Structure formats: C-alpha cells, structure tokens
Amino acid sequence: MFSKRSDTVIAFLALLVSAFTFYYTTEQFKASDRHNKLSVTPNLRFWLDENQRTDTFTLKLINNGIGPARIKSFELTYKQNRYAFPKRPEWEQVFQHIGMILAVTEADIDWLQSGDVLAVGDEFTIYRFKVSGKVPEIALMASLLELSGEEHDSTDLESQEQKDINYQELRKKLKDLQVSIAYESFYDEEMPPVSFVLN
C-alpha cells in the first residue's frame, strides 16, 4: 500500500518536473527568438544636408540600426500627386509639378526598388539638387536654343545674388515634397515607416 502511494507521488513529481522543464525550455526559446530579432533590428532615418555655402540640398536615407533593412515601399508625394517607386520619368513629372526649372538646378536622383536591402551603416542618396546662379528666363531660353540646334551666346553670367534667389525659391518648392519609405527586418517584421518633409 505504502509503495503504491509513493510510486504515485514519484510519478506525479516526475510529471511536474517534466512540465516545468518544458515550460522553461519554451520560455527560453521565446526569449532567444526575441533577442535574435532585436539583435538585427534596422532603423532607417532620413538625413538632409542643406548647404547654402555649396548651394545644395541632399536627402539621404541611412540605416543606423543593428540589422539590415528590406525596402517594402518608396513613395514620393507632391500635393495630391503620388508616385510609388519613382524612376526618372516619375521624377521628371514631380519636377514639372514643382515647377522646377532644371536649367537653373542640377539634379542627381536615384531610386529604390521593392526588396532592396540597406545593410547596417549604408547610406542611399534619394536626391541632390545643386542650384546655379543663372537667371531662370535666360537659362531656359539657352536650353531651348540648344535643343533646337541654334547658335547662341553661352556666356550667361551667374551671380551670387541670383544663386541665393534660386536657392530660396527651390527651398520653398521642396516643402511640398514628401518622401515615405516602409521597410522590414530580415525576420519579416514590419518596422515603423519613415517619412520626410522639408521644414
């Protein structure tokens, strides 16, 4: 009788120890999984280099997290016009909507694609605009003459005063341009989207 009862108690205790071990192992696995996800968490941020000394606006996307970021969406918005994953033709439409005269602005643009990856510390230049000191009307006329193949005097003088005017004009127009990016970690965890608007 006594040995039957002790066998039952021992069996119950063994079952209890097994259940506790299973629970502890499961919790350790979950904690390890959480740790692994946190240890590869990306953190995308926009960085604007607005340099009136060199007359440039440069918008960069930087991954300052501790893991790679996979791009899910990249969108430009100007007023009511939206462009998903814009390439050169879409950028040119944005320039038209902004009313930017490219004859007085040198533009370097790039584009992201769905699935592109930014490793830790990677930088990606979204756009770079460099303003000239040309009078917009003269620069536009010169551009049209070049396109038509006509001879013209290309000694359009640039002035610092006009450069400052063009810089401030471009700055005003860029305030309506919004850039938004959604991304995820390599564990397919969606990260909070980031967006940028010039203040």
Encode pLDDT of 23-75 as tens digits: 777 777 666 666 555 568 999 999 999 988 888 889 999 999 999 999 999 99
Residue 150 has pLDDT above 90, yes or no: no
Segment 117-148, tens digit of pLDDT: 999 999 999 988 888 888 877 776 666 666 66
Residue 103: the pLDDT is 61
Q: Looking at the structure, tell me whether residues 29 and 91 fall in a common domain.
A: no
Q: Looking at the structure, tell me whether residues 35 and 46 fall in a common domain.
A: no
Q: Where are the beta strands (DSSP E) in 34-184?
A: 44-51, 56-63, 69-78, 81-84, 105-109, 117-118, 123-131, 177-184
Residue 145: the pLDDT is 65
Residue 1: the pLDDT is 53
Threshold 0.95, pTM exceeds: no
Residue 102 has pLDDT above 80, yes or no: no
Q: Looking at the structure, tell me whether residues 9 and 76 fall in a common domain.
A: no
Q: Looking at the structure, tell me whether residues 74 and 14 fall in a common domain.
A: no
Q: Looking at the structure, tell me whether residues 56 and 154 fall in a common domain.
A: yes
Segment 156-176, tens digit of pLDDT: 567 888 888 888 888 888 898
Cβ within 8 Å of residue 185, ≥6 positions away: 37, 40, 41, 42, 67, 68, 69, 70, 191
Q: Looking at the structure, tell me whether residues 54 and 19 fall in a common domain.
A: no
In angstroms, the CA 145 to CA 142 distance is 5
In angstroms, the CA 107 to CA 36 distance is 41
CATH code, domain with 166: 2.60.40
In angstroms, the CA 32 to CA 39 distance is 10
Q: Which segment, 41-45, 95-99, 110-114, 171-175, is predicted with the most confidence on average?
A: 41-45
Q: Looking at the structure, tell me whether residues 102 and 181 fall in a common domain.
A: yes
Segment 84-94, tens digit of pLDDT: 998 888 888 88
Q: Looking at the structure, tell me whether residues 6 and 46 fall in a common domain.
A: no
SS3 (DSSP) at 16: helix
The percentage of residues in the chain with a pLDDT greater than 90, rounded to a whole number, is 32
Reported as type and span, the H/E element at residue 172 is: helix 160-174
Range of the domain at 136: 42-197
Closest CA to 121 of 45, 35, 38: 45
Please state the rounded mean pLDDT for residues 6-22: 78
Q: Looking at the structure, tell me whether residues 22 and 98 fall in a common domain.
A: no
Q: Looking at the structure, tell me whether residues 26 and 86 fall in a common domain.
A: no
Unique residue bearing structure tokens 């969606």: 190
| Separation of first and last alpha carbons in the chain | 85
The percentage of residues in the chain with a pLDDT greater than 70, rounded to a whole number, is 81
Residue 6 has pLDDT above 80, yes or no: no
Residue 182: the pLDDT is 97
Q: Looking at the structure, tell me whether residues 21 and 91 fall in a common domain.
A: no
Q: Looking at the structure, tell me whether residues 15 and 94 fall in a common domain.
A: no
Number of folded domains that form the chain:
2
- Helices vs. strands in the chain: H and E counts, helices first: 4, 9
Residue 83 has pLDDT above 70, yes or no: yes
Residue 36: the pLDDT is 59
Please state the rounded mean pLDDT for residues 150-160: 64
In angstroms, the CA 176 to CA 162 distance is 23
